[in-house]
């Protein structure tokens, strides 16, 4: 049996080997099938710190922590001493001092976690950091739950044709998914407004117009148009976007029989995806959210094991 993954922190998918990804998927599928959770002889205290808005990731991590038997300490960034100017490091040092040993953090700054994990010998912070999304950088838990959802449908990645469609420039989900999917052997295509495709993505795949790829793809990953991250918003018409780049009912009818649609959420209904397709047979939107809890359990467990938390079983 493959040894279970052990990590000090879970920050990015960039250093994961394929067999480690497969191990995480296996473990998440085990939890999903009702497999027993590990028993800990000492309590493990965790905190979820979301400095950017979130529904899925925040609640899903909290559900995963509860299912694993962790004690979650409430933290509200809007009423915390961050608003008095306390740094992220000092905030975590405070929580660590009162007994918290795991922090799930979402932050608008790319690689915010460097200051929390690259410590000098005067710094005493001793916490596992799990990245719940950093700016336009990485979203490891969304990426891994996406891999689990694709694996559940096809049983493999090699040779699958995957289109990533929409606001590529601003998407940490796209950046994480394209890298891991390519590493796992899938073939990546990009679509949506061409101005959101840049040379940064060329090593992963080419740009193709949505109408030219729709009947060829096994997986279509739609991205939310992230208006809040656009520096200068050109006049945006939801109807025009939907008709030119969105997954319309007409395009849905042209998809391969076994193909699936994914979307990390939140969905702009009628923009990236026709509202009536959100729960259509090919949509895996709800499955992704369901799988997220079990994948996050596997990720948290990897950090618990890496740091030797919870005492002896």
Residues making contact with ligand CP (CB under 6 A)? 54-58, 133, 142, 264-266
Q: How far is the CB of 142 from ligand CP (least distance, A)?
A: 5
Q: How far is the CB of 301 from ligand CP (least distance, A)?
A: 21
Residues 113 and 256: their CA atoms lie apart, in Å, by 41
What backbone torsions phi and psi does residue 50 show, to the nearest 5 degrees? Answer: -110, 100
CB-nearer residue toward ligand CP: 12 or 57: 57
CB-nearer residue toward ligand CP: 177 or 218: 177
The neighbouring-strand residues paired with 187 are: 161
CA 100 to chain centre: 23
Tokens of 311: 């005492």
CB-nearer residue toward ligand CP: 284 or 307: 284
CB-nearer residue toward ligand CP: 55 or 114: 55
Q: How far is the CB of 209 from ligand CP (least distance, A)?
A: 26
Answer for the pair 149, 199: CB distance below 8 angstroms, yes or no: no
Q: How far is the CB of 141 from ligand CP (least distance, A)?
A: 8
Count the neighbouring beta carbons within 10 Å of the beta carbon of residue 241: 18
CB-nearer residue toward ligand CP: 131 or 191: 131
Phi-psi region of 54 (alpha: psi -120 to 50; beta: other; left: phi over 0): beta
Q: How far is the CB of 216 from ligand CP (least distance, A)?
A: 26
Sheet holding 260-262, edge to edge: 205-207, 187-191, 161-165, 219-222, 260-262
**How much helix, strand and coil, in percent to the nearest 5, is found in the chain?**
40, 15, 45
Q: How far is the CB of 132 from ligand CP (least distance, A)?
A: 7
CB-nearer residue toward ligand CP: 28 or 309: 28
């Amino acid at each position: 049996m493959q040894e279970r993954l052990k990590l000090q922190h879970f920050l990015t998918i960039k250093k994961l080997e394929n067999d480690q990804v497969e191990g995480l998927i296996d473990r998440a599928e085990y939890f999903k099938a009702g497999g027993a959770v590990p028993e800990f002889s000492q309590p493990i205290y965790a905190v979820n710190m979301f400095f950017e808005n979130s529904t899925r990731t925040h609640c899903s991590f909290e559900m995963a922590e509860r299912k694993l038997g962790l004690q979650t300490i409430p933290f509200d960034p809007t009423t915390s001493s961050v608003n008095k100017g306390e740094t992220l490091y000092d905030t975590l040092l405070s929580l660590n001092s009162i007994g918290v040993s795991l922090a799930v953090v979402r932050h608008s700054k790319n690689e915010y976690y460097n200051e929390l994990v690259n410590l000098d010998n005067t710094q005493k912070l001793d916490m596992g950091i799990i990245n719940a999304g950093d700016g336009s950088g990485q979203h490891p838990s969304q990426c891994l739950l996406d891999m689990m959802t694709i694996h559940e449908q096809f049983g493999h990645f090699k040779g699958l044709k995957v289109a990533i469609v929409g606001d590529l420039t601003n998407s940490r989900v796209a950046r994480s998914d394209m890298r891991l999917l390519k590493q796992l052997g899938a073939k990546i295509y990009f679509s949506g407004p061409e101005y959101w495709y840049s040379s940064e993505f060329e090593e992963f795949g080419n740009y193709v117009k949505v109408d030219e790829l729709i009947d060829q793809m096994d997986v279509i990953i739609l991205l939310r148009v992230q208006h809040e991250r656009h520096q200068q918003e050109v006049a945006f018409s939801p109807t025009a976007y939907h008709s030119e780049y969105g997954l319309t009912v007409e395009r849905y009818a042209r998809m391969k029989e076994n193909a699936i649609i994914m979307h990390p959420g939140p969905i702009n209904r009628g923009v990236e995806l026709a509202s009536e397709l959100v729960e259509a047979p090919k949509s895996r939107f709800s499955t992704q959210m369901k799988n997220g809890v079990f994948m996050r359990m596997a990720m948290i467990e990897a950090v618990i094991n890496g740091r030797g938390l919870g005492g002896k079983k």
